[in-house]
Structure 1
Amino acid sequence: MNSCPVRLRGPEHTVDPAGYIEAVRAEHGSVVPVLMDADVPAWLVIGYRELHQVLNTPATFARSSARWNAWDRVPADWPLLPMVLQVPSVLYAEGDDHHRRSRAITDALAAVDPHELRSITVRMADRLIDTFCGSSGVDLRTAYAARIPALVLGWIYGIEDRRGDELAAVMTAMIDGGPDAMSAQRDLMSRMAHLVAERRAAPGPDAVSRLLAHPAGYTDDELTAELIVILGGGNQPTGEWIGNALRLMLTDERFSASFAGARSSVRSALNEVLWEDTPTQIQAGRYAVHDTELGGRHIRQGDMVLLGLSGANRDPGVRAGIPAEGNNAHLSFSHGAHRCPLPAQDIAETIAATAVEVLLDRLPDVELAVAPQELRWRPSPWVRGVSSLPVTFTSVSPRGDY
């Protein structure tokens, strides 16, 4: 196996990620030495079985970034810092502390009524569609797919639409890992701290208030960080999930031929996207508790292990002869103790499916405004989503009945 590190930045990650990851797999195997921004090293796990091993053995591959052995190589302005910065949250917690936090989040999200959630998502979808349905075209990514999850999550948090939109923009800037990532993270912390103070003073029928009242006994600082994790895990991936599903349905005749009332095809498209174009391509990370071996590689204590979710989903050793349709064994929601909580998965799927269904109901003749090959993907190895999704359709009157 080649031991020369692979750089995680570059157009090859977005032009043909499937072909690129298979070329990397052929040369390096299931565990790949990589260099992140500023040549900070890590291991990228793209083997399905190897990733299962990492996710199922927290005694060997732990979550806390305090264990990382490369902190001395990280520049102060490192754009990926928000992804690894050790803050008190479920994302980095281990053992009993993680169980305490995970139980609280699961309980708070499980209390979201699924029928009300769908009703709110329909209402939000109609409101957004009303802003552009009177024209003959729009960029569905920016005007719709990227906005609706934040609006619905804002409702779950008990905040008004405007603040939900603002949170989405700040969260995107942080996750994109660009030059504004750290300032966006500070802005988000400030906004969440203000929300926690509001709910502490005046509780309501929302997830934030439920978390404050939970026996887990959150402090304000703890909950501030936790709310960012929940928002980050639900907003951008769900937006990209919607956008990627719409792209698939607009470009693949298996779906485009059955737009009218084809709700079953929406679920099929959403599931296929999780296998082929999962919104979270790579996730940071796990940290070796002690020296170990993984996929024939020697992993040193403290080494960072990146979760190559998309690579593992494409592992030919697992996928050979197994169709994506009806198969939910993908790793797009991760796996093990730190997987996305089941209520959160249900919420994301309700938002995504409802958003696509309402759009196709309202604009049944929607089609791409450009050739499929002209679509461009966001320039990031971490997330998978189109930069824009321009479409045309027959103008219809706004409903305004929400």
Structure 2
Amino acid sequence: MSGPHFQTEPTRVYREMRRDHGAVAPVVLDGDIPAWLVLGYRELHQVTGDPALFSRDSDLWNQWDAIPDDWPLRPMIGRKQPSILYTVGARHRERAAMISDALESADPFTLRRHAEQFADELIDGFCAEGRTDIIGRYAMLLPVRVLAKIYGFPDEQGPGLVTALNDMIDGRERALEGARHLATSMRALLEAKGAEPGHDAASMMLANTAGFTAEEVAEDLMVMMAAGHQPTADWIGNSLRLMLTDDRFAASLSAGRHSVAEAMNEVLWEDTPTQNVAGRWATRDTRLADRRIQAGDMLLLGLAAANYDPQIRTDGSALTGGNSAFFSFGHGEHRCPFPAQEIAEVVARTGIEVLLDRLPDIDLAVPAEALTPRPSPWLRGLTELPVTFTPTPVLGP
């Protein structure tokens, strides 16, 4: 689940794995920890749709005795974490309802206005220069600034949260430090909102009457922040990369706002930000795609691989024409809540539209083959997206 080919050509790697191993492949994570990667679309549908057999309860994992405390992937898998990710049954449904209610309180028109405002502010920072890195100076900053408004964070805390989230999600040497920073920030936010509630998601979650503790709310806020920021930033970056490098998307770029939604939908098939998710754990011995799965085995959800399953996409080079049956937001009771999907789409679409409006002749500044994916077994995005454009005036306040 690492290495140069996995980072640069994941589709080819998934195709070769499917050829050699079938729809469920044995893989090893950092430290030679074994797991199963579910590559098949139908098999992934089965795993995510059967929580009784394939549970979200990570305590079931039969490898915990082999996992050191400093294992870099621990923040993305966790054990005994009181968050919605690892809660099952009726309690999970109650927590999902709490989160959905809090996110639904965000007015879509206000949300878009915030996204436009922050997008313009970020573009003002480089529009007169004629060139910039869209990832570092735009895509990686926009989602977290909008989410800060929804959750109740002060705007100035955004850059620190970006760094912490990226470190945690990338699963490398700074992962644990990033997780600690995020946890400290969340607890401080809840303390402030407990003393002085506002009209934000954190305050609404604290006021929920279902009996959730402040620690549980803090964990859920961290899940929401991680799931809401980085994939949305990568959705923006991956969409713009395809528009700038793939002839099939050139019309979307030149047409500006009118084709952005269609292009974004294709990205969720072609280059989905969330590539793999950990995971599900078998509650008993079973079989899946002719593989013998033992009780406690971990199954990684290969969302990107399933999107490219040749039995589903018989012509992988053809555009999907608006088909939204992708796995990019998951499936089953642990899928991304619908209000969260809507927020991500509004932020990503607004970010792309405002950028194309402000910089209509934007072009790639380096050869397409020079673009480098960010190393992560879970998410797919670029480290940089250098572009050039005709310098334009700052809009100002």
Normalising to structure 2: TM-score of the pair?
0.97
Residue 38 (str. 1) matches residue 6 (str. 2)? no
Number of the residue aligned with 1:11: 4
Superposition deviation, residue 213 in structure 1: 1.2
Equivalent residue for 1:163, pick from 141, 157, 163: 157
Q: Distance in 2 between matches of 1:158 and 1:395?
A: 35
Counterparts of 2:320 and 2:152, CA distance in 1: 36
In the other structure, the counterpart of 1:254 is: 248
Q: What is residue 4 of structure 1 aligned with on the other side?
A: none
How many Å apart are 1:293 and its aligned residue? 0.5
Q: Distance in 1 between matches of 2:153 and 2:65?
A: 40
2:117 pairs with one of 111, 119, 123: 123
Give, as a single letter, the amino acid of the residue that structure 2 aligns with 1:326. Answer: G
TM-superposed CA distance for 1:134, in Å, is 1.1
Provide the rounded CA distance (Å) in 2 between the counterparts of 1:367 and 1:255: 13
Separation (CA, whole Å) in 1 of partners of 2:33 and 2:250: 43
Alpha-carbon deviations, 1:241-275, whole Å to 9, x = none? Answer: 10000101111233334535532321111111111
Distance 2:185 2:115 in 1: 23
- From 65, 73, 83, the equivalent of 1:80 is 73
The offset of 1:324, in angstroms, is 2.0
> Which residue is equivalent to 1:276?
270
Verify the 8 A CA contact 2:134 2:237 in the aligned structure 1: yes
State the alpha-carbon separation in 1 of the partners of residues 69 and 206 from structure 2. Answer: 33
Following the alignment from structure 2 to structure 1, what is the Cα–Cα distance between the partners of residues 264 and 161?
25
Structure-to-structure mapping, 1:369-384, within 5 angstroms? 369-384=365-380
**One-letter identity of the residue aligned with 1:362:** R
1:205 to 199, 213, 235: 199
Counterpart in 2 of 1:350? 346
Identical columns (%): 50
Tell me, in whole angstroms, the C-alpha distance in 1 between the residues paired with 2:252 and 2:264: 15
What's 1:216 paired with? 210
Provide the residue aligned with 1:338 in structure 2: 334
Letter in 2 for 1:350: V
- Answer whether contact 1:153 1:164 (CA < 8 A) is retained: no
Query: 2:327 is paired with a residue of what secondary structure?
Result: coil
C-alpha root-mean-square deviation of aligned residues, in Å?
Answer: 1.2
Deviation at 1:323, TM superposition (A): 4.0
Equivalent residue in structure 1 for 2:296, among 302, 306, 315: 302
Greater CA drift, 318-327 or 14-23 = 318-327
Distance 1:278 1:260 in 2: 22
Equivalent residues of 1:292, 1:300 under 8 A apart: yes
What is the CA–CA distance in structure 1 between the aligned matches of 2:373 and 2:155, rounded to whole Å?
Answer: 28
CA distance in 1, matches of 2:168, 2:8: 23
Q: Which residue identity is paired with 1:355?
A: G
Query: SS at the partner of 2:292?
Result: strand
2:261 aligned residue: 267
Structure-1 separation of matches of 2:390 and 2:55: 53
**Partner SS, residue 108 of structure 1:** helix
Shift of 1:217: 2.7
Partner Cα separation in structure 2 for residue 277 and residue 334 of structure 1: 15
Residue 387 (structure 1) aligned with residue 380 (structure 2):
no
Report whether the alignment pairs 1:368 with 2:361.
Answer: no
Whole-angstrom CA distance in 2 between matches of 1:261 and 1:9? 37
User: Which secondary structure state, in structure 1, belongs to the residue aligned with residue 171 of structure 2?
Assistant: coil
For residue 325 of structure 1, report the CA deviation from its aligned partner.
Answer: 2.5
Letter in 2 for 1:69: N
Give 2:83's aligned amino acid. S
State the secondary structure of the residue aligned to 1:354: helix
Which of 37, 41, 60 aligns to 1:67? It is 60
Is 1:194 matched up with 2:188? yes
* Cα distance between partner residues in 2 of 1:207 and 1:221: 15
Q: State the distance in 1 between where 2:362 and 2:119 align.
A: 16
Question: 1: CA distance between counterparts of 2:107 and 2:169?
Answer: 29
Q: Partners in 2 of 1:168 and 1:314 — Cα distance?
A: 30
- Per-residue CA deviations over 1:293-335 (Å, capped at 9, x if unaligned) read 0011000000000000000000000111574221000000000
Q: Contact (CA 8 Å) 1:261, 1:361: kept in 2 or not?
A: no
> Amino acid of the residue matched to residue 32 of structure 2?
D
Contact between 1:13 and 1:380, CA under 8 Å: does it hold in 2?
A: no
Give the Cα separation in 2 of the matches to 1:239 and 1:106: 21
Q: Look up the match of 2:231.
A: 237
2:326 is paired with a residue of what secondary structure?
coil
Structure 1 counterpart of 2:101:
107
CA distance in 1, matches of 2:153, 2:306: 37
Matched, 1:396 2:392: yes
CA distance in structure 1 between the aligned counterparts of 2:215 and 2:9, rounded to whole angstroms:
42
Distance in 1 (CA, whole Å) between partners of 2:344 and 2:266 is 15
Provide the rounded CA distance (Å) in 2 between the counterparts of 1:33 and 1:336. Answer: 23
Residue 24 of structure 1: aligned partner: 17
- Counterparts of 2:142 and 2:125 in 1: how far apart (Å)? 13
Alpha-carbon distance between aligned partners in 1 of 2:282 and 2:153, rounded to the nearest angstrom = 39
Contact 1:255 1:265 in 2 (8 A): no
Within 2, Cα distance between the matches of 1:271 and 1:80? 29
1:148 corresponds to which of 137, 142, 147: 142
Change (3 A) 1:254 1:319: closer
* Contact kept? 2:118, 2:142, Cα under 8 Å: yes
